[in-house]
């Protein structure tokens, strides 16, 4: 789980890119390319280095008319996996 007050940020060297040829968003990182499905892309689009995890999931819940705790669980799984690979910073 990620604490609601934690602030996720993409570190230098990790960035979102639209892959025109394959018509998909990807996350580019050192020696790795992660294909982003629409949900993953929606989550990462909210990661701005300022918003807290709670704020991000509230906005997503609002936009997709879905329960925030469900969005929080999905987002935490995805962001946690990125964090484990050091593709994401989490400020407590």
Partner 1 sequence: MTIRPPIAMLAELTHRCPLSCPYCSNPLELARAETELPTEDWVRVFREAAELGVLQLHLSGGEPASRRDLPELVRAARQIGLYTNLITSGIGLTEARLGELDAAGLDHVQLSLQGTDAEMADAIGGYRGGFTRKMQVAGWIKAIGFPLTLNTVLHRRNLHQLPRALEMAEEMGARRIEVATVQFHGWALKNRDALMPTREQAKEATRIVAEARARLKGRLVVDYVPADYHSDYPKRCMGGWGTTGLNVAPDGTVLPCHAAQTIPHLTFENVRDKPLSDIWYQSSAFNAYRGTGWMPEPCQSCDRREADFGGCRCQAMALAGDAGATDPVCIKSPHHAALQARAAAYAAGPDALIYRTAPGKPLPHIGNATTGPESRSAERITAGNG
15 backbone φψ class: left, alpha, beta (φ>0; ψ -120 to 50): beta
| C-beta closer to partner 1: residue 65 or 84 | 84
Question: What Rg value do the Cα atoms of the chain yield, rounded?
Answer: 13
Q: For partner 1, which is the closer residue by CB, 33 or 45?
A: 33
**Alpha-carbon gap, residue 48 to 30, rounded angstroms:** 20
Binding letters toward partner 1, positions 67-86, x by CB under 8 A: ----------------xxxx
Which residues are at the interface with partner 1 (CB under 8 A)? 11-15, 17, 19, 21-22, 26, 28, 30-35, 83-86
């Amino acid at each position: 789980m990620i604490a609601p007050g934690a602030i996720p940020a993409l570190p230098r060297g990790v960035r979102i890119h639209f892959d025109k040829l394959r018509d998909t968003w990807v996350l580019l990182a050192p020696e790795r390319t992660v294909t982003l499905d629409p949900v993953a892309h929606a989550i990462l689009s909210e990661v701005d280095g300022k918003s807290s995890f709670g704020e991000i999931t509230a906005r997503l819940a609002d936009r997709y008319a879905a329960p925030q705790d469900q969005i929080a669980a999905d987002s935490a799984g995805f962001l946690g996996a990125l964090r484990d690979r050091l593709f994401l910073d989490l400020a407590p």
